A = this chain, B = another copy of it.
Amino acid sequence: MERRQPPQTEEGWYVLHDFRSIDWDAWRDAPQRRRERAIEEGIDYLTAAESVADADEGGSATYSVLGHKADLLFLHLRPTLEHLDTLERRFEGTALAEFTERADSYLSVTEVSGYMSQDFFDDDAEMEDAGMKRYIESRLKPDIPDADFLSFYPMSKRRGPDHNWYELPFDERADYLANHGEIGKGYAGRVTQIISGSLGLDDFEWGITLFGDDPTDVKELLYEMRFDPSSSRFAEFGRFLSARRFPPENLGAYLDG
């Protein structure tokens, strides 16, 4: 058994999905003044993060998480791990943090791979296709879509005795992914994705974050993909978390139920 050829990859911004639970008992018991201060400092922190006051580039967004797994999601994209590390700890210094517990998190980094565009990785080739260049840039340094709904899940490719992604020839993998990508194109304008790699960073190989105004568009896309061999045969999925975006200034309304 020879070693298969890995794709080249290029990485962009580091991504932290920072999931928090609200300690509702503490919140209910807190005097009005402490609650006001928590809301104020929370809004300050989130507004500063969303305006990327701490870095030259990146992006942040705030979400309300459905169900018992978490209540809040702070999504941060930044050029370095140090930025994320600081953002994570800086939150702990706010009065809002007193009312939250860390519920979950995921660490990854945006990536494009040579499956998509070998030209991009050729040393001696000038990438003349400006459209492709912009596209790749938009994946490495993505704008967080201004959509109501977010779905996050981590995933890995299978390495089973029958179906082993990492033992497929390069071209076969590229074909699988090209076909898989075709499905996504059918949802252009309705569902946007941020794909980030997490090998060596977190427990799975990739984090997938999907954005859309209508959750059933995301559901339909994932259902269609599940019938594609790239998923049906080779995907191992982790937990799924669903969230709804809200602007930091609505934090008070959020906490008041």
Chain A residues within 8 Å of B, Cβ to Cβ: 1-6, 9, 11, 14, 16, 18-19, 22, 24-25, 27-28, 64, 66-69, 81-82, 84-86, 88-93, 97-98, 102-107, 109, 149, 151, 153, 159-164, 166-167, 179, 197-203, 205, 210, 215-216, 218-224, 226-229, 231-233, 235, 239-240, 242, 244, 254, 256-257
Contact = CB atoms under 8 A, between A and B. Distances in A.
Contacts of A109: 215-216, 219
B106 A67 contact: yes
A27 B19 CA distance: 20
Nearest to A166: B232
Contact of A167 (B160, B223, B233): B233
Nearest to A159: B232
A242 B227 CA distance: 32
B201 A215 contact: yes
Nearest to A149: B81
Contact of A161 (B6, B14, B160): B160
Given A164-B233, A219-B201, A233-B159, A64 B92 contact: no
B227 A16 contact: no
A227 B166 contact: yes
A242 B107 contact: yes
6 contacts: A3-B229, A66-B85, A68-B104, A82-B244, A167-B233, A197-B223
B257 A1 contact: no
Contacts of A151: 200-201
Given A4-B227, A107-B67, A227-B6, A200 B16 contact: no
Contacts of A231: 159, 166
Given A3-B179, A90-B257, A160-B161, 14 more contacts: A11-B216, A25-B97, A66-B84, A86-B257, A109-B215, A109-B216, A151-B201, A159-B226, A164-B232, A166-B232, A167-B229, A199-B219, A200-B219, A201-B242
A182 to B, nearest CB: 9
A64 B103 CA distance: 18
Contact of A257 (B92, B162, B164, B179): B92
B239 A203 contact: yes
Contact of A3 (B16, B228, B240): B228
A8 to B, nearest CB: 9
Q: 4 tightest CB-CB pairs across the interface, nearest first?
A: A161-B162, A166-B232, A67-B105, A68-B102
A97 B179 CA distance: 49
